[in-house]
Amino acid sequence: MQDLIERLERLGRPRILLVGDFILDRYVYGDVERINPEAPVPVLKTVRSQAAVGGAGNVAAAAPAMGAQVACVGVIGNDAAGRELSRLLREAGARITGLARLDGRATSVKTRYVGLAQHRHQQQMLRVDEESPEPLDERAQAKLRSAVRDELAQADIVVLEDYNKGVLSDALTPQLIADAGAAGKGVLVDPAIVADYRRYRGATLLKPNRYEAALASGLHISDDASLAAAAQRLLEIADAQAVVISLDQEGMYLHPRGRPGRRIPHRRPRAVYDVTGAGDETLAVMAVAIASGWDYEQAIELANLAGGLEVEKFGFVPIRREELAAELRHLVGLRGSKLLSRQELAQELTRRRQRGETVVFTNGCFDLLHMGHVRYLRQARELGNCLVVAINSDDSVRRLKGPGRPVIGQEERGEMLGALECVDYVTIFDEDTPIPLLELLRPDILVKGGTTPQIVGQELVEDYGGKVRRLGVVEGSSTTQIINRVLNNSGGH
């Protein structure tokens, strides 16, 4: 693991040539508070909507977040959706000069309708697709092949992202792989849900998921033996150098040509919130790592971590290199990944709000964590999508509580709070009040315990439209009682 951290710190800025089906994802969020009296279906009252990249666009957004440079080759419609998708790709850091606008062909759009139970719990209810999936005509195929050839000299690796929307056809795909091979470039393929992988012949690496591998190999996958048999058959069909089969929460299965296969599991279990784009995230990370000279196993280790972080988020959210580094440090015990500086935290909360999440904030000394605190924090977390706990620094506690406090230092207090599943982020503030932190973070909900006589920052939060919640008194000894008992038992030390 330490070796992975050091490699990540030295990861360069490889150039990725990305070819595939670029899709515009739209999300329509609304409250569901009643059933349609005309039919037994929920009524969605629209609250807001947003657009995001989808399909190959997920890789185009994920790779720059890892520090890579991406050149996109594909087609979009000469329509409003195509213009919106182009803007989003540019904002993600991708280069789109290779995207051809075609008259008479609609940009692929997926619209997801998401219900908000109790105004916060997000659940996808329906997806509506608008697309033109027929194969490109010969003129459009020739234009794409020319664009790929123009980019090959500058590319470190080629990624084919096939959603079976007509771009990576049986005719064009082998030509692109042959062109990449002639230029000495490796080709990573995320295959479509198709039964015949002969279009991918000559690829360096195939990365299907379990269902796709079973369909293309014609074998039922249930154990390591069937995994090996399916992977071997895919290697033969596609004449590939390696097959990596995604196994969801079980990690990935790597089978290189001429060598035995092996499972590469996740480092730790994840709470799966939404699998949208997880495969694209892992493909992007693998491409960046392999293009930087990593071997397959090292690349899969990193991709597993990225995929695990991505499924904990709603919708597709690119994982930044800094997030992976923090996760790796957390796994080896160098630093709790939930303990952030206020500037790091502000950036995280901005991304959370862009996804429509509700930010809950509470603060305190939390000197000697006890069950009363835990119950209180669980109640606070239930009010939104993420909970921020701000703790007073050691100097701040001494000014407020006296020279004998705190009993536990700020780093240990932060680490213990971060170990709680209900706590998403921890930050330390040195001021006597959290008001400067509230001004920066602007949480949606400020929470304080029922015994707190005055809620510091209440007026500020209410001024910008946030809400203030006072939770009832929770069971358990008070912090003061526990500290006095500890000090008495230890002779006052």
Instruction: Say yes or no: 154 and 252 in one domain.
Output: yes
> What is the pLDDT at residue 477?
47
Q: Which two tokens stand for residue 131?
A: 């697309």
Give mean pLDDT, residues 64-75.
Answer: 95
Q: What digits encode the pLDDT tens for the residues 402-449?
A: 888 888 999 999 989 998 989 999 999 999 999 999 999 999 999 988
Whether residue 18 is contained in a domain is answered as: yes
Instruction: Say yes or no: 419 and 304 in one domain.
Output: no
**Parallel, antiparallel, or unpaired for β 186-190 and 386-392?**
unpaired
Whether residue 337 is contained in a domain is answered as: no
Q: What digits encode the pLDDT tens for the residues 147-162?
A: 999 999 999 999 999 9
> What is the pLDDT at residue 334?
44
Q: What digits encode the pLDDT tens for the residues 53-62?
A: 999 999 999 9
- Could you give the dihedral angle defined by the CA atoms of residues 474, 475, 480 and 483, in that order, rounded to the nearest 10 degrees? -130
Indicate if the pLDDT at residue 215 is higher than 90: yes
Task: For the chain, give the mean pLDDT.
Answer: 88
pLDDT: is 157 or 316 the higher one? 157
Q: What digits encode the pLDDT tens for the residues 242-254?
A: 999 999 888 899 9
Indicate if the pLDDT at residue 273 is higher than 60: no
> What is the pLDDT at residue 404?
84
Alpha carbons 176 and 237: distance in angstroms, whole number = 17
Indicate if the pLDDT at residue 319 is higher than 90: no
Instruction: Say yes or no: 259 and 395 in one domain.
Output: no
What is the sign, positive or negative, of the torsion defined by CA atoms of 83, 89, 92, 98? negative
Q: Which residues contact 126 (CB under 8 A, 6 or more apart)?
A: 112, 113
Instruction: Say yes or no: 289 and 370 in one domain.
Output: no
Q: Which residues contact 341 (CB under 8 A, 6 or more apart)?
A: 427
Confidence of residue 144 (pLDDT cuts 50, 70, 90): very high
> What is the pLDDT at residue 224?
92
What is the sign, positive or negative, of the torsion defined by CA atoms of 227, 229, 230, 232? positive
What is the sign, positive or negative, of the torsion defined by CA atoms of 10, 15, 20, 25? positive
Nearest partner of 127 among 108, 107, 115, 111, judged by Cα: 111
Give mean pLDDT, residues 209-214.
Answer: 96
Single residue among 305, 331, 357 that ends a domain in this structure: 331
Instruction: Say yes or no: 292 and 186 in one domain.
Output: yes
Instruction: Say yes or no: 346 and 311 in one domain.
Output: no
94-104 as b/e: b if 16+ CB within 10 A? bbbebbbebee
pLDDT: is 458 or 226 the higher one? 226
> What is the pLDDT at residue 85?
97
> What is the pLDDT at residue 491?
46
Confidence of residue 265 (pLDDT cuts 50, 70, 90): confident
Q: How far is CA 274 from CA 181, 271, 315, in A?
A: 36, 9, 6
> What is the pLDDT at residue 337?
63
Q: Which two tokens stand for residue 447?
A: 């929470």
Alpha carbons 323 and 488: distance in angstroms, whole number = 43
- Could you give the dihedral angle defined by the CA atoms of residues 201, 205, 211 and 217, in that order, rounded to the nearest 10 degrees? 40
Confidence of residue 370 (pLDDT cuts 50, 70, 90): confident
Instruction: Say yes or no: 322 and 350 in one domain.
Output: no
Confidence of residue 276 (pLDDT cuts 50, 70, 90): low
Q: Which residues contact 334 (CB under 8 A, 6 or more apart)?
A: none
Instruction: Say yes or no: 324 and 346 in one domain.
Output: no
Indicate if the pLDDT at residue 318 is higher than 90: no
Q: Which residues contact 42 (CB under 8 A, 6 or more apart)?
A: 32, 34, 35, 36, 115, 125
Instruction: Say yes or no: 318 and 364 in one domain.
Output: no
Give mean pLDDT, residues 77-84.
Answer: 96
**Candidate from 2-11, 199-208, 473-482 with smallest mean pLDDT:** 473-482
Whether residue 13 is contained in a domain is answered as: yes
Instruction: Say yes or no: 82 and 14 in one domain.
Output: yes
**Residues catalogued as catalytic:** 280
Single residue among 311, 331, 351 that ends a domain in this structure: 331
Confidence of residue 488 (pLDDT cuts 50, 70, 90): low
Q: Look up the pTM and report it.
A: 0.69
Whether residue 176 is contained in a domain is answered as: yes
For residue 406, cis peptide bond before it (omega within 30 degrees of 0):
yes
Whether residue 336 is contained in a domain is answered as: no
Q: Say which CATH number the domain at 433 has.
A: 3.40.50.620
Whether residue 8 is contained in a domain is answered as: yes
Alpha carbons 139 and 103: distance in angstroms, whole number = 13
Alpha carbons 470 and 464: distance in angstroms, whole number = 18
Give mean pLDDT, residues 219-235.
Answer: 95
Whether residue 213 is contained in a domain is answered as: yes
Q: How far is CA 104 from CA 25, 80, 83, 86, in A?
A: 20, 13, 15, 18
Q: Which residue has the tokens 């670029």?
A: 22
Tally of structural domains, the chain: 2
Give mean pLDDT, residues 200-227.
Answer: 96
Indicate if the pLDDT at residue 129 is higher than 90: yes
Alpha carbons 432 and 379: distance in angstroms, whole number = 25
Indicate if the pLDDT at residue 478 is higher than 60: no
Q: Say which CATH number the domain at 244 has.
A: 3.40.1190.20
Instruction: Say yes or no: 347 and 324 in one domain.
Output: no
Single residue among 308, 331, 354 that ends a domain in this structure: 331
Instruction: Say yes or no: 213 and 270 in one domain.
Output: yes
φ/ψ bin of 205: left (φ > 0), alpha (ψ from -120 to 50), beta (otherwise): beta
Distance between the two ends of the chain, CA-based, in angstroms?
Answer: 39
Q: What digits encode the pLDDT tens for the residues 453-477?
A: 678 888 888 888 888 888 865 444 4
Whether residue 152 is contained in a domain is answered as: yes
> What is the pLDDT at residue 352?
77
Query: Contacts for 339-346 with beta carbons within 8 Å, 24 or more apart?
Result: 339/411, 339/414, 339/415, 339/418, 339/425, 339/426, 339/427, 339/428, 340/425, 340/426, 340/427, 341/427, 342/427, 342/429, 342/437, 342/440, 342/441, 345/388, 345/425, 345/427, 345/441, 346/440, 346/441
Q: Which two tokens stand for residue 97?
A: 């000069």
**Parallel, antiparallel, or unpaired for β 121-130 and 42-55?**
unpaired
**Candidate from 112-121, 338-347, 395-404 with smallest mean pLDDT:** 112-121
Domain ranges, residue 413? 342-489
Indicate if the pLDDT at residue 331 is higher than 80: no
> What is the pLDDT at residue 357?
83
Task: Quote the distance between the C-alpha of residue 243 and its chain's center.
Answer: 24
